[in-house]
Every structure is written in structure tokens, then in C-alpha cells.
Amino acid sequence: MARIVTVAAAQLGPIQQAEGRQSVVARMIALMEEAHAKGATFIVYPELALTTFFPRWYEEDRSKMDHWFEAAMPSAATQPLFDKARAFGMAMSFGYAELTPDGHHFNSSILVDRNGTIVGKYRKTHLPGHVEFDTERSHQHLEKRYFEPGDTGFPVWNFEGGLMGMAICNDRRWPETYRVMGLQGVEMVVLGFNTPSVNSQRGAEGLDDRLFHHRLSCQAGAYQNATWVVAVAKAGTEDGNHLMGGTLIVDPNGKIVGELDHEDDGVLVHACDLDDTVFGKETIFDFKRHRRTEHYGLITERTGVGAPLGR
């Protein structure tokens, strides 16, 4: 018996600083309409989907960046998106900057069921970049300045007839992200990303390398945990700063089943059979049968590199 989730990876093109949330939400709704017309029942939007990638901008007074954050979800600006999703009977996930009532700042994403109810929240664990202005970099990447590390861990939810997990951008580069969800039986990981197309510390590392590492990370995570991975870009040039595309869907065998080849608003729709995860989970990645946790201690005992165990 197949357990099909027809997912739409809904890529957003650039969002300029001057573009308001209402305009972005209208773009997101247009993508949802296209996804609905193509039979999708679950739509996934990028990281920080409502605004420009503001962590590229340095601000001495961090409180002056709070206007990029959502103090409520849904809010007046995002309610039309929830209303449209409910009208379509479409589940959704998207990322946004979260300001909690007690003043905490997270890079977050949510799972919303077909009734428009928020049933899951994830807060980005692996924050790349730096806290202070870095004169050595070609551009700033100040997520460590504006966000706290997530406090949710990597939960997996019963969602859309399967086991669903979330990650955000840099999380996809860390095998621990997928494995913690893999140990919960995850069958689909959805993640958004905003990835500058050039390494700010190594100019020679450009778009091709960035796309290679992005595909490598998503494919490895999918294969090594027998799960679908849906990765959705915010892409294009935002106020002169280029973000790469590369929206793609990877099957549980690590194969890319679809990838967008542009940097504009667009949807990639694929009927993902969650039962395609079963063979991998019951054979090569039957964790219970094959893992030897007695030898993995360093993974949680050490944060950074320590002394070698060999003599």
C-alpha cells in the first residue's frame, strides 16, 4: 500500500529589504494556488520566508532588528496564508524569525495541518556565521548575533500519514540533524535555506561548490536515514547580495528526483511515497540491527576536536 504525500517545494525568489510582508504573503499564496492546481497536499516554503535575509546586515543595536521578527503566528500579515491553506485543505511548512513573548529570538519553522492548526515548531539548532562585524569577510553572516540556538532539538511528528521532521538551512550540513530524526523513524525531512552563493571567507568557493555541498548534504542525510528530504531555497539577488537556488527533493535512496533550475518564485511538485523508506530502514539502515552505540560516545561527549584515542 502506498502512502503518498504530494509535496510542493515552493521556492521564493529574492525579497528586497523594502518589500513588505503583505507582498511576500501574496507571492506565497500564488505559489500555493499553483501547487494546489498541480495536486499538492503539502507545501514547503524557505527559511525566513517572510523577509529578506536580514542577518547579512550589521546593526549595533539589536533591538532595531526586531521589526524583522514575528511576535505572533499567525499575524495579520500571515493570516491570509493560513486561510488559503485551510480553504485548499493543504498542509504547509515555512520558516520565519520568531520573537517569543518573553523576548527570545529564534530562526524557526512550523508545521501547519490541513485545518490551519500549527502542530509543530522547530528552532534552528546550527547557527552559522558570527556575532560581531567581521572586517575579514566579503559579506556578513550574523545569525549568531540575532538568533539564539534553538531549544527544541529535532522532533519528529505524526503528520500527513507519516513521520515528518524539520530542519533549517545550515542544519542540513550536520549528520547529527538527520540521525536524531532517523532514530525517531523520520520518513520526510523538510527544510528551507538561504545560502549565499559565495563563501564570505573564501572567494574561490562559488556557486558550483555551494550547490555541490548542498546536494551532497541533502543526499547523504536522505540515504543514511532512509528518508525523503525536501529542501527549498529563497534565491536570487537581494539588495545586491546573491542567494543560490537549488530547490530539490531527494528520495530515501539518496537520489535527486527533482530540482528547480532557476532563481525565481516557483514550485517543484512530487508525489513522495513514504513507503519507499521501508526497504532502507529494514535492511542496510536497520539501526537496531547494525548500530554499535558503545563506540559512538565521542559524538555527544565532545563538542570540538580532542585528543586521538589511538596511542
Residues annotated as part of the active site: 47, 124, 169
11 binds ligand ING (CB under 6 A): no
Instruction: In angstroms, give the least distance from the CB of 71 to ligand ING.
Output: 22
| Residues 86-125 as x/- pattern, contact with ligand ING by CB under 6 A | ----------------------------------------
Instruction: In angstroms, give the least distance from the CB of 37 to ligand ING.
Output: 30
Instruction: In angstroms, give the least distance from the CB of 53 to ligand ING.
Output: 7
Amino acid letter at 310?
A: G
Instruction: In angstroms, give the least distance from the CB of 56 to ligand ING.
Output: 10
- Beta-carbon contacts of 228 under 8 Å, excluding residues fewer than 6 positions away, are 7, 187, 188, 189, 222, 249, 250, 251, 252, 272, 274, 276, 277
Q: Which is nearer to ligand ING, 85 or 232 (CB)?
A: 232
41 binds ligand ING (CB under 6 A): no
Instruction: In angstroms, give the least distance from the CB of 109 to ligand ING.
Output: 12
128 binds ligand ING (CB under 6 A): yes
Classified as helix, coil or strand, 308 is coil
Residue environment code for 268-297, b if the CB has 16+ CB neighbours within 10 A, otherwise e: bbbebbbebbeebbeeebeeeeeeeeeeee
Query: Which residue has cell 525568489?
Result: 13
In sign, the C-alpha dihedral spanning 233, 167, 151, 125 is negative
In sign, the C-alpha dihedral spanning 34, 38, 42, 48 is negative
**Stretch 235-274 residues interacting with ligand ING (CB under 6 A):** none
- Applying CB under 6 A, the site for ligand ING has a residue count of 7
Q: Which is nearer to ligand ING, 36 or 141 (CB)?
A: 141
Q: Which is nearer to ligand ING, 123 or 281 (CB)?
A: 123
Eight-class DSSP state of 149? P
Q: Which is nearer to ligand ING, 173 or 179 (CB)?
A: 173
CA 187 – CA 274 distance, rounded (Å): 6
Q: Label residue 299 exposed, middle or buried (CB < 10 Å: 0-12, 13-18, 19+).
A: exposed
Instruction: In angstroms, give the least distance from the CB of 20 to ligand ING.
Output: 22
258 and 268 in contact (C-beta within 8 Å)? yes
Q: Put the strands of the sheet holding 42-44 in their side by side order.
A: 118-123, 105-112, 91-99, 42-44, 4-11, 266-273
Q: Which is nearer to ligand ING, 86 or 213 (CB)?
A: 213
Q: Which is nearer to ligand ING, 11 or 170 (CB)?
A: 170
The CA-atom distances, in angstroms, between 71 and each of 75, 119, 138 are 8, 18, 32
**Stretch 144-203 residues interacting with ligand ING (CB under 6 A):** 169-170, 173, 193-195
230 and 6 in contact (C-beta within 8 Å)? no
**Stretch 204-233 residues interacting with ligand ING (CB under 6 A):** none
Closest C-alpha among 152, 149, 148, 161 to residue 187? 161
Residues lying near ligand ING in the complex (CB under 6 A) are found at 128, 169-170, 173, 193-195
